[in-house]
Structure 1
Amino acid sequence: MSTALPSPLKIGLSRTRLEVKEFFREREQLIFTFLFPIIFLGIFSAVFSGTDFSGGVDAATYFTPGMIASGIFLTSFQSLSIGIAIERDQDVLKRLRGTPMSSQSYFIGKIGVVLVTSVLQFGLLLAIAGLLLGVDIPSEPEKWLNFVWIFILGTASGCVLGIAFSVVPKSGRAASAVVTPVVLLLQFISGVYFVYSSLPAWMRTVAEIFPLKWLAQGMRSVFLPDGFEVNEPGGSWQLGTGAIVLAVWLVVGLFVAQRVFRWTRRDAG
């Protein structure tokens, strides 16, 4: 009598547990993906201590939303694009493709580890910001509802873009060298490391094309005072525009990922 195989979802959840264990065993992943925004929040809060960013907003409060957005982008786009490229280069994907596990289960595992690490990272960053750096945590339900959809759209778009971009590095060894500069560039022009309104107009125009700018601005709408939106270049949080841009990148990333994703290395034919 044949035994029914577990569902793709059940296998995917098992993959998620395995992926999470492997994530926290990797020292480089832990430092440069998970702890990187938390470390930089502490550094920026110390460097810009005493600086007033308008409306009584201090450095820790201003940089917290940017670091949250950066953390989401690191754990989704950067982590997946590098990790999948390495697995492809080491023929891990090829071996997994030869098992009864479906491709859906594999991607459920990848998206699952992004969700788990993003939530843990956000919780730790928020605890440090609130308890150690004196950041006022919002209590309005409306702001937290905004946070939920911004987090979901930002994470989803980062995941599909990371999966699609994983085919760009020619080898697993080159993955970090290819992906990391892209992420750093987007962080610099998207208002993560600088006050966004102080950036040159042409740089802001370029940043508006990409999702990280809208993710960071959306997080500012959650964690900064309502009156601070007048300091944004558009004079408002532009949440509707941000939702559209993130949704477009989600659709584009999904479309591209479905067509370019490879289970084997390029030299495998």
Structure 2
Amino acid sequence: MTATAPAPAPAAFGLGHALRLGISRVGYEVRSYFRQGDTVFFTFLFPLLMLSIFSVAFSSIEFGQTPDGEPLTAAQYYLPAMLAAGVLLSGLQNLATDIAMEKGDGTLKRLAGTPLPVVGYFIGKIGQVLVTATLQAALIIVVAWLAFGVTLPTDPEAWLTFAWVFLLGVTTCAILGIGLSALPRTGKSATAVVIPIVLVLQFISGVYIQFSMLPEWLQNIANVFPLAWLAHGMRAVFLPDSYAAMEAGGEWNLTGILLVCGIWLVAGLVLTRLTFRWIRKDG
């Protein structure tokens, strides 16, 4: 009788395996992101460009006063808005268009035949958004400080607020971007479908226009979506406390940020679970 060698133990394909593959894929996703010139411009550099334009164009206008009695510059006023817009662009717009294009050019179809699980793919994408959004936010803040003389918070509590609002916003927008990627019918139509949605949200959420100047009914519509609350949270960090009087309710409503973004995060997870496929059903 010949001895038979024991069969090799089956490879573990559980959550730990997905995490390892996902984390290892983050580097690939980041490199791919920065190799796409149009993506870098329209999602990474665009908020910095808009901050520079507004800071120069409205440099002669005072937007109020700081607690020290100094005039609040356009750069100081628009910094929170551009940080919130950057989170939306890096998360929702970037992933919605990127994944839709990967469906259209067959990338996802090829990935379906590899050991990479869906969870690992999502981890790679969300990790890429976290890395690029963090670099983007740091760049915007440093340029605002060095080039436009923006006074940054010195209170650690303010930076703690910035950290959790930023992380919650990045996660929510990334998940919503994955869910929204199912909307374009083809990769070529992705930008035509996604960018108008992003632009409308920015205009009604206090990014380009002062939120308190918008009609109340439009403010109510904007407050249904997470961008208005992310901009609200950033204003709570970078603007004087006296500006809270111009917000809905006359105060910084950080609980509202948790509530609205938390609801959209859960909704995005459900939408992603229902709609994401390696291969389109109609393709």
Structure 2-normalised TM-score?
0.91
Aligned counterpart for 2:126 among listed residues 88, 96, 111:
111
Shift of 1:10: 2.0
**What CA distance in whole angstroms lies between the structure 1 residues aligned with 2:190 and 2:281?**
14
> Quick one: which amino acid aligns to residue 139 of structure 1?
T
Unaligned runs of 5+ residues in structure 2 are: 1-7, 66-70
- Cα separation, 2, equivalents of 1:128 and 1:54: 21
CA distance in 2, matches of 1:10, 1:266: 29
1:129 aligns to 2:144 (yes or no): yes
- The yes-or-no answer on 1:199 pairing with 2:214 is yes
Displacement over 3 Å in runs of 4+: 1-6
1:210-248 deviations in Å (ceiling 9; x for gaps): 000000000000011122211223211211112100111
Which residue of the other structure, out of 61, 71, 93, is the alignment partner of 1:51?
61
Structure showing greater radius of gyration is 2
Letter in 2 for 1:122: A
Structure 1: tracts of 5 or more residues without a match: none
Picking from 14, 21, 24, the partner of 1:14 is 24
* Structure 2 counterpart of 1:221: 236
SS at 1:191 equivalent: coil
Deviates more, 1:196-205 or 1:17-26: 196-205
Instruction: Kindly indicate whether residue 234 of structure 2 is the aligned counterpart of residue 246 of structure 1.
Output: no
The letter of the residue matching 2:35 is: R
* Offset, 1:2: 6.0
Letter in 2 for 1:64: L
SS in 1 for 2:251: coil
SS at structure 1 position matched to 2:114: coil
Aligned residue for 1:262, secondary structure, equals: coil
Match of 1:232 among 238, 243, 247: 247
Shift of 1:103: 1.2
Q: Give the C-alpha shift of residue 7 in structure 1.
A: 2.5
Contact conserved, 1:89 with 1:265, CA < 8 A, in 2?
no
Deviation of 1:157 (Å): 1.0
Equivalent-residue separation in structure 2 for 1:265 and 1:17 (angstroms): 27
Q: Distance in 1 between matches of 2:9 and 2:231?
A: 51
Which of 156, 176, 179 is residue 161 of structure 1 equivalent to?
176
- 1:254 Cα offset (Å): 0.7
Which residue of 72, 76, 88 maps to 2:91? 76
Q: CA contact under 8 A between 1:68 and 1:125: conserved in structure 2? A: yes
Comparing 92-101 with 65-74, greater Cα deviation is found at: 92-101
Number of residue pairs matched by the alignment: 268
- Greater Cα shift, 52-61 or 38-47: 52-61
Higher alpha-carbon deviation: 53-62 or 241-250: 53-62
The alpha-carbon deviation at position 135 of structure 1 amounts to: 0.6
- Counterpart selection for 2:155 from 117, 136, 140: 140
Alignment correspondent of 2:45: 35
Q: C-alpha displacement at 1:265, in angstroms?
A: 2.7
- Partners of 2:182 and 2:262 lie apart in 1 by 22
